[in-house]
Structure 1
Amino acid sequence: MDFSWSPEQRAAQDAVAQAVRDVFEDSPVTGFFTPKHWRALGELGLLGLCVPTRYGGRGLGALETAGMVEAFGRACTSTGLVFAASAHLFACTVPVAAFGSAAVKERLLPGLCSGELVAGNAMTEAEAGSDVSRLAVHAERTAGGWLLTGEKSFVSNGPAADVYVTYATTDPDAGHLGVTAFVVERTAAGLTAGEPFGKLGLSACPAGTVTFDGCYVPDEQVLGEEGTGGAVFQHSMGWERACLFAGYLGLMDRLLDRSVEHARTRRQFGHRIGDFQAVSGRVVDMKLRLDSARLLLHRACWEMDRGDDATLSVALSKLAVSEGALASAVDAVQLFGGRGYRSEDGIEAYLRDTLPGTIFSGTSDIQRLLIAKELGL
């Protein structure tokens, strides 16, 4: 088994990391991302990493995509921007590329890859978070298409999005087999995107509600077939739970570097604080979590590229990365002490940005349920 990147892969990752540093040093993200930021990501190829080249993507497999996202997460100090771009790609662009009609792919994928368009994943509802088989948003048949009605309560990128991938109940009696996936453009009559709401972290990524009031969606904008929305969603979640969380590997790497430097230079009681086992032990745990999580994530992506059933590996990877990143952020706040609690050093931002990783894309408890099921429990 080869654990190394090829020289060409490493060079591509280093080039993206340097380009990200250059772009965002000149144009830092201080609030929500702007169209300028988004187009810059498109120009760097980060919005279409795993999309076929014929549509403007880079055509990479899951493992190479994860390597590029990790480089992005390491270089970009705005984790909210990394998250926004990854949610756009894996939760929205991937299902359009995999399940969209030929006409939809030709019309939307080039703009989604270039940064001309922003996409939002409209799945979560007030009463449907982990249980996505009971969606209140419903779709009724009409001439040539469907009428969607209801509200999605938490749509990342929602206030800025031009395109939404959404899911609605089309057969209430069929459970998860009664859910259908749609791609809906913001200009569709009956669609209203809410204003951004406040949230704990990932501040560069706006989030809000999306309401459908008899919103007409033509048949050609169904993703997959009627009733296959559950399969479409799980396909996108496989990519999201693996490759999106590569961005958190980059964050963990950056946080480890900052913690090592602080432990080397901060002095107390006449010694570097890194000389104290209470401090060095925390740093060692951060390194252990990072390398363990990276190996699990790479295995999950490797299995995806082979076409294997990666359900177990993806769940293990998502759980390890999300929980590991949060634990390391807590350790860093403790290690930096008062400076870790103050906003000017940015350490507390790591804590705010890692906490939601244990919630979105399936909570940690949901991952444990999936793992238990795969183990036969």
Structure 2
Amino acid sequence: EKVLAWIQEKKGLTLDTIKKYEVGWDGEKNTIPIYDEKRILRNIRRYNRKKKPKMISYHSKDFTYGEGRIYGADEIFSRPNETIFLLEGEWDKLLASQHGFLAVTGTVGAATFKPEWRQYFAGRDVVIIYDMDPEGRRGADNAARALMGTAASIKIIELPLKGTKEEKDYSDYFLKIGATPEDIQKLIEESPLFTIEEEPKREEPLKALESFIEIDLNPNIDKRVKVPLTVSGETSEAFHGVSKFRVEFCSQQKAGKCNLCPPDKIFAISSGEKEFIESCMSSEAQVIGFLRYRICPFGPKKPTVKILQKSTVREFFATQRTKRFFARIGKVGIDEGGTELVERKVYFVSDHPVKPQSYLATGYVRTHPKTQQVCLLATELEPIEEEFESFALNDEARKNLEKIRNLPQRKLLIF
């Protein structure tokens, strides 16, 4: 009687609900039978609020029945037209069922949503109501991601609770705050549909440099710049940089603990990113390693990735742009201002050799991954028309040339 009174008072369950769902007591713990979709008994969850863990699966001397399941799977198929409420924990599921909702829960905690559970939610509207603590929020997001492309619609419900130990879940909302099923319906109506939106890649502010020699300066490290330069020649080097890849296998995903990298998601690396130039200069094993670290937060439990696309990267040398070449002292080039020509490596995605001439380059000042030297990873090269290229032999030009031809030899100007 004390156990029954406790369930009714602390868990809010009526005697009818307790009987309907066969909630019992085995002398040590409350018992909740877990049936599969065919109404076959697969497990018994055992609960004692005074012991940790509070909820465990039934086990005998020889067997443990703790395989993760959807509690309420049998109800899903008997009520095909209703919205499914996915909750965190057996007690919350029972209370929501008592309120008339088609409620289910996973039996292995908020952190796990097993891939094989998706079948139960196919084509259905799903409302996720997990605890409002950090673990519950992460679990709700993981479950929602797992159901994308399977469920007809998904909503994650934000309960107006503090998220503390005393006030965090569906039961607290009703038993401590005094909410009603109508309050839940109102929250559902006001909640947006769950969507996965890629974080927009913020384009770094473009910093205009007057001269190519400025890429060496500290304030320009890893900055996106626009700078005039002159291509002095292409090396014989060409590289392949990784531009697209995907996850082939993930142990965390298979276990239902992470759905950040769905199998059909293709990850892209833009030609301006650090990882792109690193992929050009690294071994295959090193490339796979940093691609895994790029997308996965789980330390050593990294996924297997497959490279889908590479791009050809040209390496060439460039100097600051000069209007005309004035002099060379030994092997050192000097521009018209008397400044030594600074030659640096530039990398650019192109299937074709880069023509030696002047360009207005847009790109990122990067550190060469092998030598740690300064280099420019160009994303755009806009040709600059030189003065001689715009020369037009018109009537005015002919008159000027005639004047030059008629000048005495000693007055001829040599450029």
- So what's the TM-score if we normalise by structure 2? 0.20
- So what's the TM-score if we normalise by structure 1? 0.21
Larger C-alpha radius of gyration, 1 or 2?
2
Asked which structure has the greater RCO (Cα within 8 Å, sep 6+), the reply is 1
